[in-house]
Amino acid sequence: MFWGGFKVQGKDQQAGERLLKEARLLEENGAAAVVLECVPDELAKIISRALSIPTIGIGAGKHCDGQVLVYHDLLQYGVDRLPKFAKGYGDFNTTAVDALASYIKEVKNNTFPDADHSFFDQR
């Protein structure tokens, strides 16, 4: 029922029927939602329509009731490659390195902190 990794689940009809059956069992046993990870778009659509509880997709296409994208992937933070289903919305690695390099340079050059970033005695 719980598989891991970036391996596509439900690729053939038998595996898809098994996922649908298990999702229904989860619902029948009181689950509040089901997470569909690395599931083909059309299968996620079928499962989402078959359940009355929400489906949350991560690499399961647009037909789920909600979406998850790990912020490390979203920001490309600490990752050197993204899973196929992830979309990077920024490159934090480059931004962070550039920001840290600028800070170090300004401290070494004695340009930070400057008057705008210092407190002065008002006596």
28 is catalytic: no
β-pair type (34-37, 66-67): unpaired
Q: Name the region of 26 (left: φ>0; alpha: ψ -120 to 50; beta: rest).
A: alpha
Q: Catalytic one among 17, 28, 37, 106?
A: 37
Catalytic residue positions, numbered: 37
